[in-house]
A and B are shown apart, each in its own frame.
Chain A
Amino acid sequence: MTVIHQPETAEANVETMDWMAAQIKMPYTLTPGQATGIFLAELAGRRLIGSRHGDELIVPAQDFSGTTGEPATGFVEVAPVGTVQAFTTGATGTIGIILIDGSTVPFVHQLLGVEPEMLELGARVEAVWADEPTGGMLDLAGFAPLGSAATFEPKDDPADLAAAFEKVDYTMTLDYRHAYGPYYGTLFDGVKDGRRIRGVKCSACRRTLLPPRALCDICLAPTAEWVDVEAVGTVQASSVVHIEFIGQRLTPPYVYAEIVLDGTSTRLIHMVGDVDPDVAQTAAAPGARVRAVWSDRHTGSLADIDHFELLPGDET
């Protein structure tokens, strides 16, 4: 049994339990596959394409039937007309689950020009096309109440099918608020306001742990006291970063370093700065002595340390 124990000083800092904002934003190029790729490409020409899987017809066209797992055996141009099976209205409008005539599988899209309080399940709707196609699902702008029902017979193997889209651009933007909790809270309050780095000492083996935590990983004893750690240490491992990639926080070249601060038993991840990348291969090698250089920032994060600088002379 382990008992979670918090040092008294951590409890005294409960009001500092705050959050750190973080954003992850990344572009993607998604592959729709053949059938959905054709469906999407055909929207610009204002045609709705389904896929045949034996007796089954699926609109939008799919590579595989969820009923049988079987691949599509052909494509069908269908009437852009269907029935509302379900709907919901929110701040951005009304979203419906729509079953295209002849299809066995419904799909989700916007309902346009509808009065939600007047809308009924089973309502008949027709496609609304975007004025200017942009090459995506919204080339089919949505569905609106059916006007004059033109008759349209589904056509198997429609002529001149557009080439399938090979990719769909997509950007995912995710905002987070990470709670500091009592340990990171106390550490980064000290970093932000007093330029203090504080670890916790294990009550049994007396190791100093950074980042601070409730329990020692080696003996599972509770950590008992906060201790100040000098911002000087030894490089345990280092590499010289040249690669550039989307989403990178720093501009290369820089030296990635895992540093053990004097008196601690854990690693702090940061960078060694003010050193030529070629020189860094030996000068900032494992064993090099380094010291934190504080930045002008007071953010309450490791970024308050601008970088670590090499101390002259005592590479081990």
Chain B
Amino acid sequence: MSGRSKSIAIVGTGQTVHARRRTDVSQAGLAREAVVEALDDAGLTMDDIDSVIVASGPAMFGAVNQPEKWLVDALGARYKPVVRVTSGGGTGLAGALAGMNQIKGGSAKRVLVVAYDKLSEGQLQASISTLYDPFWGREFAVGIMGFSAAYWHARIKRLGHTEEAAAMVGVKNRKHALANPKAHVKKEITVEDVMASRPLCWPIKVLDVPPISDGACAVILAADEDALSITESPAWIHGMAYYCEADNAADRQMIQSEPLQIAAAKVYQDAGITNPFRQFDVAELQEPYTCFELSYYEGLGLCPEGGAAELVASGETAMGGSLPVNPSGGCMGANPIGATALIRLAEAAMQVTGKAGGHQVPGASRALVQAGGGWANLRGVAVVGSEKR
């Protein structure tokens, strides 16, 4: 490989209006809605797109295998390279990484990444339970909720990630979602509401859990001068990585997510981040349950290990704080799983280009993104900024 590496940017984003159930569109129609908005945002048409990455969750969510072939009609993508990427809750970020690599490798100039899930159609917990080895624990699985609650329980004991601290995450993100026109859960709650809500997998309670959503997100990627020819204000991707952990590896404690720490170290090096809490203006972190946002504060180095409860209580991660986390409302505003990670990336791009409207963090120029799939097995991190790097 010769010459300097290409700088890749997000030049357009689009999202559906997310909902508990979209009765008016099929899975393909849902994906199209986000794509139309992203193309409009970039001022492009499908003729300008070289390659399409479709990102969606387990096929079992919607009972359609190889849904990418079904989407081709609705996207007008025939005769283009189309592949599907799937990686649980991190699917959208894994899809964006695949798109970046197509551009870096020279096989495409402009890549459309579209991520979606229409979770109203299937059985969420039963589908996710099939992530478990059929010989080893599947009969006890509650999606990832039983697992997630179990290790939160361990982190309560080891790291002080209390039920109240997680409740503060839920209160904060639901409040943020009020200002996001794309979010569909718009209800302000209190810490007391969360604490009093019905246990689902204790310590996880109803209000620690995001909604089940139908939704899609699309992002258009381009590089260098081409990106600047499309928009005056690309959101430059300073780094992106996605790492995994073995499922049944020995000595796996899951108090911290090692793949998250590895991904953060790699991306921070690429992006020149040495003090993440000070250097980021905003963060979009995929929090499938409230307890995960606490864990990610630590895994991403926003606070020391054991400091997450104090950080959320300080208010610094709320709008108006020094590092607002999830101004979009995060998963608590909408959680179409296959799209969720790409929504985090799109929201970060909107923030650093000043397009986040009512939930804009004033003057944001550098944003942190995190998303992952499985049960802490797969973790991704990205940094986007207004400055080319």
Contact = CB atoms under 8 A, between A and B. Distances in A.
Interface string B280-324: 000000000000000000000000000000000000000000000
B123 interface: yes
B139 A64 contact: no
Given A65-B73, A69-B76, A238-B150, A265 B129 contact: no
Contacts of B118: 31
Q: How large is the interface on B (under 10, 10 to 19, 20 to 34, 35 or more residues)?
A: 35 or more
A242 B202 contact: yes
A256 B23 contact: no
A258 B78 contact: no
Contacts of B251: 207, 218, 265
A264 to B, nearest CB: 8
Contact of A211 (B123, B143, B248): B248
B139 A242 contact: no
Given A256-B201, A270-B137, A248 B126 contact: yes
Contacts of A126: none
A80 B374 CA distance: 49
A256 B135 contact: no
Interface in A1-56: 20, 22, 24, 26-34, 36
Contact of A33 (B25, B127, B135, B141): B25
Given A242-B199, A242-B201, A265-B251, A29 B157 contact: no
B89 interface: no
A248 B134 CA distance: 14
Interface in A242-262: 242-243, 245-250, 254, 256-258
A266 interface: yes
A241 interface: yes
B61 to A, nearest CB: 9
Given A209-B248, A267-B248, 4 more contacts: A69-B46, A217-B249, A245-B124, A302-B137
14 contacts: A24-B126, A28-B123, A30-B26, A64-B73, A69-B75, A70-B76, A172-B60, A211-B136, A241-B201, A248-B126, A250-B139, A256-B140, A265-B250, A303-B139
Interface of A: 20, 22, 24, 26-34, 36, 62-70, 166-167, 170, 172, 176, 178, 180, 184, 188, 207, 209, 211, 213, 216-218, 236-243, 245-250, 254, 256-258, 265-271, 277, 281, 285-287, 301-303
